[in-house]
A and B are shown apart, each in its own frame.
Chain A
Amino acid sequence: MRCVTNGANGGERTDAGDLTPAQRDRVAAALADVEPGKGNLLPALHRVQHELGWVPRAAMTLVARRLGISEAQVYGPATFYSEFRLTPPPASLLTWCSGPTCRVLGGERIKLILEETLDCRLGENGPNDDYGLWLGQCNGTCEQAPQVWLNGRVVGKLGLADAARLARRLRDGETADAIAPPPADAVEIQPALVRRGETP
């Protein structure tokens, strides 16, 4: 159960702002071949997130209309599942792996060092939304533990000082892609991250 004030994606953004006409069109296009019916809710929300980088409240309304269900039936699951982002992702996302292998190798202290150095709690973004520190669920790349992900790329076998240095580079303005550049044959091993989320 994700508590809206303490979830992986931070507090819920309460703006009831509408989408821009261009965004409405993009969401409509993304949902065009989704058949009505409750069973297609998760695929529909995934498409919205893929298109916009997150799931704004206003987009939930469009999903509800498309599927022919109530907004409450969309809102409940959209806020229950932790992979749906209710706030725009930052340009540089630092994801801290919460898995047990990382834990037994010092992961909890790494979280503390990241929070203190970046001056934001887990689940929050830093000033200006330049970077964020979010919680990641174990993806089983435990040979790299303890680890974090920079825009989805694993930075592993971290010592405590390594974590502090990494956080300082982010805090001092380096981007995630500059610190851990993706190679030409980059393979996405984290859910696709749309780099710059758009606020309606």
Chain B
Amino acid sequence: MSAAYEALRAEAGPPREARERPLLRVDLTTSSVAAGADGTLSRLRESIAARGLDVEIVRVGSLGLSFAEPTVELQRPGRLPVVYGPLPAEEVEDFLDAVLGTARSEAGGDDRRWAIGVRGGDGQAGEGQEGVPPLSAHPFWAPQQRRVMELMGVIDPESLSEALAGGRYAGLDRALEMEPRAICDLIEAAGVGGRGGGGFPAGRKWKFLLGAPGPDKYMLCNADEGDPGAFVNRILMESDPHLVIEGMAIAGLATGAERGVVYIRDEYPLSVARMQRAVDEAAAAGLLGGDLLGSGRAFRLEVVRGAGSYVCGEETGLIASLEGLRGMPKIRPPFPAQRGVFGLPSNVNNTETYAHVPPALLHGADWYREFGTEADAGTKMFSIGGALRRTGIVEVPFGSSMRELLEEIGGGVPDGGAAKGIQPGGPLGGLLNADDLGLDLERPPFTERGVLLGSGGLILFDERACAVDLALYFSEFCEDESCGRCTTCHGGSQRLVEMLGRITRGGGRAADLERLGVVDRTLQNANCLHGQFTPYAIRAALRHFREEVELHVLERRCPARACRGLIRHRVTDASDPALAEAAALCPTEAISGDDASGRAIDEAACVQCGLCAELAPAAVAVEDRFPVAAAAPA
């Protein structure tokens, strides 16, 4: 350990815990704020002050338990911390009665109402305490292997001291003693692969940059996480930003790049703020800048905000954006390692990739490979959501079963519903049938099924979702986000949207089944992956949901009743009183009549939004607009 690092660690002190007074950790991230965590925090502050309690309140990142937000964690001196949630602002008073009042029964409250589990001092295990089971026994937590998520939800993401106390920058300190090539070798031997979806070995990629001539090189972090439904990088930056910074600095030392940029999508303002703060604090402490920990070596880092463009997640698009141009991808070669940002050799890795670097460097290749598969070593963060009981962020070994991830950790479809399929890897990732739930979470089995594992977003959908509607949705997304440089891509995606739109409105033609394939093959000539992967959704729908697509095209029927052009709503019980509210709220005022005369839907005015069926399910039937029987009148 260098003297400079030792001094920083000494100054930071030991990890924060409840010593003399209770410690209340409040998860303050985008996910928890969406559930009202900032309101909960305000109420906690007010109530604790009003009660004259001596409680230390600290803001932390996310444990990944999005389904239980807002979460808080209370540690009383001499006890293990207990995680609670959801705790909405209006339940704060009752909660404080229960946890900081007298005995449970006397206080009239029972903290077990909110308790999720007892978190062990090591962040992994726990013994259980006072009737609250250990978090490690919770189905969401038990199968996880939290390596990069070790400190997430435990430390204050806006405090360098807490990051240092948790061991951050020990990897950087070690890397400063190593030769650049030795760092690349170690990361390559560990098998740290690109977490954006490509899986390319980071150590090997770095060697391209190490071999590039000249002193001016750039290390770039792709934090553009544009895949809707994926939020792995966001949680990482909001919860443990110093881990990403440390990984980038090590990559800088490994390649001779003395400058770095974190490019963060504009839709993540809290990530931008926390990364910027972390960079500033690290620079002030000598962990970034012209003299890393007194070694004389340099790595300067800046944070750049994107401005809303999906293709900037493609590395050459990202580079164009950093140069102040429209974010249009370029044809490779030249690869970024030859000619990157501002024409200088550059390396682009995903945010999570950098987060895996410090632990791999500290613990070595064998440790790193203890988890994972031949194709994909180590662990991977996944964001899971959709028709799922427990939405959240988890870290599991590559090669874990998707069924375990979605059904055990995620709890499967709520209310005992049946899963219909999975949408992996964002808009370019395709669709999978629920029959494939047993796939292992590594790239090869996904590629074999014609889909992408991608950057870690997995969306489970149930019988309410329609494969054709989803293919249309993703085609529309890709059309809108096409950069417009190559006609193949923007024209091809337009054709897909036109054809799928026509099919969902009842205009399907038998030849469409063939022609969708023609558009797909044509799109393979697009300049970049955006265009080439645009047809993945419809290709996967044709492969894994063939029957459903054929029903749309050939019989004009949507079994999921999702495609509005193929269904109609009809009143089956005109006197149902629930129809009164439906009539009052109907956005197109399509429900006529009154309680006395009964009510009916005016077909010409109805837009098939389904609001009436939600409010009066017993009185409104959802039917095929083009019933098969009607084609053959008696």
A38 at the interface (CB under 8 A from B): yes
Give Cα distance in the complex from A40 to B391, angstroms: 38
B34 at the interface (CB under 8 A from A): yes
Given known contacts A42-B307, A80-B327, A100-B228, A185 and B459 CB-to-CB distance under 8 angstroms? no
Given known contacts A42-B321, A45-B307, A188-B270, A145 and B385 CB-to-CB distance under 8 angstroms? yes
A58 at the interface (CB under 8 A from B): no
Give Cα distance in the complex from A97 to B525, angstroms: 32
B218-243 interface with A by 8 A CB criterion: 225-226, 228-231, 234-235
A8 at the interface (CB under 8 A from B): yes
A17 at the interface (CB under 8 A from B): no
**Contact partner, A141, options B34, B45, B321, B615, Cβ 8 Å:** B34
**Contact partner, B308, options A8, A144, A188, A189, Cβ 8 Å:** A8
Nearest to B391 among chain A residues (CB) is A143
B-binding segment of A18-26, A86-94, A158-166: A158-166
**Contact partner, B234, options A46, A140, A147, Cβ 8 Å:** A140
Nearest to B429 among chain A residues (CB) is A100
B585 at the interface (CB under 8 A from A): yes
**Contact partner, B587, options A41, A108, A116, A138, Cβ 8 Å:** A116
A11 at the interface (CB under 8 A from B): no
Please tell me if the beta carbons of A189 and B34 are within 8 angstroms of each other in the complex. Answer: yes
Nearest to B489 among chain A residues (CB) is A1
Please tell me if the beta carbons of A39 and B42 are within 8 angstroms of each other in the complex. Answer: no
Please tell me if the beta carbons of B324 and A42 are within 8 angstroms of each other in the complex. Answer: yes
* Interchain nearest-CB distance for B130 vs A (Å): 28
Please tell me if the beta carbons of B267 and A83 are within 8 angstroms of each other in the complex. Answer: yes
Please tell me if the beta carbons of B386 and A101 are within 8 angstroms of each other in the complex. Answer: yes
B144 at the interface (CB under 8 A from A): no
A27 at the interface (CB under 8 A from B): no
Most A C-beta atoms less than 10 A away, residue of B225, B427, B609, B615: B609
Give Cα distance in the complex from A136 to B459, angstroms: 19
Give Cα distance in the complex from A118 to B423, angstroms: 32
**Contact partner, A39, options B35, B234, B309, B324, Cβ 8 Å:** B324
Please tell me if the beta carbons of A139 and B327 are within 8 angstroms of each other in the complex. Answer: no
Which label, helix, strand, loop or mixed, suits the secondary structure of the B interface? mixed
A175 at the interface (CB under 8 A from B): no
A106 at the interface (CB under 8 A from B): yes
Given known contacts A38-B325, A80-B327, A1 and B270 CB-to-CB distance under 8 angstroms? no
Return the CB mask of B316-336 against A: 1 if under 8 Å, else 0: 000001111111000000000
B342 at the interface (CB under 8 A from A): yes
Residues of A within 8 A of B385 (CB): 101, 142-143, 145
Residues of B within 8 A of A142 (CB): 66, 229, 231, 383, 385-386, 391, 459
* Interchain nearest-CB distance for B260 vs A (Å): 14
Please tell me if the beta carbons of A143 and B69 are within 8 angstroms of each other in the complex. Answer: yes
Please tell me if the beta carbons of B41 and A185 are within 8 angstroms of each other in the complex. Answer: yes
A158-200 interface with B by 8 A CB criterion: 159-161, 164-165, 167-168, 182-192
Residues of A within 8 A of B156 (CB): none
A61 at the interface (CB under 8 A from B): no
Please tell me if the beta carbons of B459 and A144 are within 8 angstroms of each other in the complex. Answer: no
Residues of B within 8 A of A81 (CB): 266, 306-309, 326-327
Residues of A within 8 A of B387 (CB): 104-105
Given known contacts A138-B228, A189-B30, A103 and B473 CB-to-CB distance under 8 angstroms? yes
A-binding segment of B177-185, B480-488, B546-554: B480-488
A23-59 interface with B by 8 A CB criterion: 37-43, 45-46
Please tell me if the beta carbons of A77 and B326 are within 8 angstroms of each other in the complex. Answer: yes
Please tell me if the beta carbons of B270 and A187 are within 8 angstroms of each other in the complex. Answer: yes
Residues of A within 8 A of B585 (CB): 161, 164-165, 168
Most B C-beta atoms less than 10 A away, residue of A104, A147, A167, A186: A104
Residues of A within 8 A of B325 (CB): 38, 76-77
Give Cα distance in the complex from A179 to B96, angstroms: 28
Please tell me if the beta carbons of B31 and A143 are within 8 angstroms of each other in the complex. Answer: yes
B461 at the interface (CB under 8 A from A): yes
B270-285 interface with A by 8 A CB criterion: 270
Please tell me if the beta carbons of B323 and A100 are within 8 angstroms of each other in the complex. Answer: no
How many A-B Cβ pairs are below 8 Å? 218
* Interchain nearest-CB distance for A49 vs B (Å): 9
Given known contacts A83-B266, A183-B38, A41 and B324 CB-to-CB distance under 8 angstroms? yes
Given known contacts A101-B229, A187-B270, A83 and B587 CB-to-CB distance under 8 angstroms? no
A156 at the interface (CB under 8 A from B): yes
A60 at the interface (CB under 8 A from B): no
* Interchain nearest-CB distance for A43 vs B (Å): 7
* Interchain nearest-CB distance for B458 vs A (Å): 10
B611 at the interface (CB under 8 A from A): yes
A154 at the interface (CB under 8 A from B): yes
Residues of A within 8 A of B235 (CB): 140
* Interchain nearest-CB distance for B225 vs A (Å): 8
Residues of B within 8 A of A191 (CB): 266-267, 269
Residues of A within 8 A of B69 (CB): 143
Give Cα distance in the complex from A19 to B41, angstroms: 41
**Contact partner, B324, options A40, A112, A187, Cβ 8 Å:** A40
B614 at the interface (CB under 8 A from A): yes
B305 at the interface (CB under 8 A from A): yes
Please tell me if the beta carbons of B490 and A1 are within 8 angstroms of each other in the complex. Answer: yes
Residues of A within 8 A of B614 (CB): 159-161
Residues of B within 8 A of A83 (CB): 266-267, 306-308
A84 at the interface (CB under 8 A from B): yes
Most A C-beta atoms less than 10 A away, residue of B304, B324, B480: B324
Give Cα distance in the complex from A1 to B478, angstroms: 10
Given known contacts A104-B459, A143-B392, A184-B42, A109 and B308 CB-to-CB distance under 8 angstroms? no
B22 at the interface (CB under 8 A from A): no
Nearest to A45 among chain B residues (CB) is B307
B24 at the interface (CB under 8 A from A): no
Please tell me if the beta carbons of A109 and B609 are within 8 angstroms of each other in the complex. Answer: yes
28 contacts across the A-B interface (CB closer than 8 A): A39-B322, A39-B342, A45-B307, A67-B324, A80-B326, A80-B327, A81-B306, A98-B477, A99-B228, A100-B229, A100-B423, A101-B385, A137-B228, A138-B229, A139-B234, A139-B267, A140-B235, A141-B231, A142-B383, A143-B69, A145-B385, A161-B615, A183-B38, A184-B45, A185-B38, A185-B39, A188-B270, A189-B33
Other contacts beyond A147-B34, A189-B30: 11, CB < 8 A: A81-B309, A100-B386, A103-B473, A105-B386, A139-B267, A140-B230, A144-B35, A164-B611, A183-B43, A187-B28, A187-B33
| A-B pairs with lowest CB-CB distance, top 4 | A140-B231, A41-B324, A83-B308, A138-B228
